[in-house]
Structure formats: structure tokens, C-alpha cells
Chain A
Amino acid sequence: DAGVIQSPRHEVTEMGQEVTLRCKPISGHNSLFWYRQTMMRGLELLIYFNNNVPIDDSGMPEDRFSAKMPNASFSTLKIQPSEPRDSAVYFCASSRIHTGELFFGEGSRLTVL
């Protein structure tokens, strides 16, 4: 079975540009999570969805960040405009609802110059 698929794997962009990260969760999973990982702050939850509905977005840093899940097999995380402090690895993870066994993608490494 395919795992969680994220794209792009690497993104280098300039400050002020729009960045869109994409995620395809594992089929049959009904919870989806977006995490951000940096050396300074570790793994931080940005937002998560249950059955395509956003449940908790309190980790989204500011209005520049937005996430959508239009259907059970696709989600996006958008940053507009991007800033150098957004540089990090962004992970998408999925699971069956109410379990803590998350399956992570390989991450999208974002560098904002």
C-alpha cells in the first residue's frame, strides 16, 4: 500500500512568494494532520482535520497560513506571502480517527530566501 504522499519534497522560494504544499493521505484514514519541524521548536502541530473538517487550527502561526481538505484524498497547506522564518520541514500525517498511530509522509523541506 502507498503511504502518505507529499509534494514537493523540496521547495526553494523567495520571500513574498506563495507556497503550496500538497498531501495525499492513506486510503481509509479519516484524520489528517499538518506538522512543522524545526531544530529550535521540534515538531509542532499546525492543524488537523477529521472527516475533511478542520478541528483545531490553533497551531497555525498567523493568517499567512491556510489549509484545506476538499475531499478525503487530498489536502493543501498554503503560505502567502512566505517569509524566511517559515523555512522548515512540513510533514503531513494521516490516521484512523481517535488513534494516535500516525503515518507520516516524507516531508516537504521549505527554504524561503
Chain B
Amino acid sequence: DTGVSQDPRHKITKRGQNVTFRCDPISEHNRLYWYRQTLGQGPEFLTYFQNEAQLEKSRLLSDRFSAERPKGSFSTLEIQRTEQGDSAMYLCASSLASGGLDQPQHFGDGTRLSIL
């Protein structure tokens, strides 16, 4: 179990630029989640994959955001035309699909995005 890996850890970019983050889940985990966390708040759900299928997207995920998990392994989260309000920590988590509500999610260390 090597844990959930996220890359990069930090990203600083100018407003209007596009950014892409990568998440590598624990290898046997079918479920993959993206969350956004702003300063002083708890993480907020963005989107969820089971294998390669994106099964739910939060209303927080505007059309500037897109997430993929093409082969059911790693996932990418892209933000186009970044805005100041996109500055946040983006967290990825994964879990086994064999369990139900009791299945814990395992989190990566996140990507901190700063928009200049």
C-alpha cells in the first residue's frame, strides 16, 4: 500500500491559465474522489469515479473544470481559464468498491493551487 499520490504538491499560476493535476490512487481501489478545500473549511465534494466512469459531479464543478480517469487507474483534474476563486487545496481520495458506507476513503496530500 503506497498510498494515494498527487502531483504536483503546489501550483502557482496566473489568472486565466489552464492547470492540470494528477492523482494516483491505491492500486486496488476502484473508487476515486476529488474534493476542494479552502482555508478554514472542510473538504467539499467535487466528483466521483467508479473505475473509469464518472458517476457524479457536484454543482461546484463549473464547466471550466473537467476530470477524467481514462483507464480506471490514475485521474486528472483540469481547470481552464483559472480564476482567483479557484485558489484552494485539491484533494484526491480513493476507496474499495467492495464495501458500502463503511468503506473509508484514503486521501492524498493534495495539490495547493495559488492563482496570482
Chain A partners chain B:
no
Binding site for A on B (CB under 8 A): none
Binding site for B on A (CB under 8 A): none
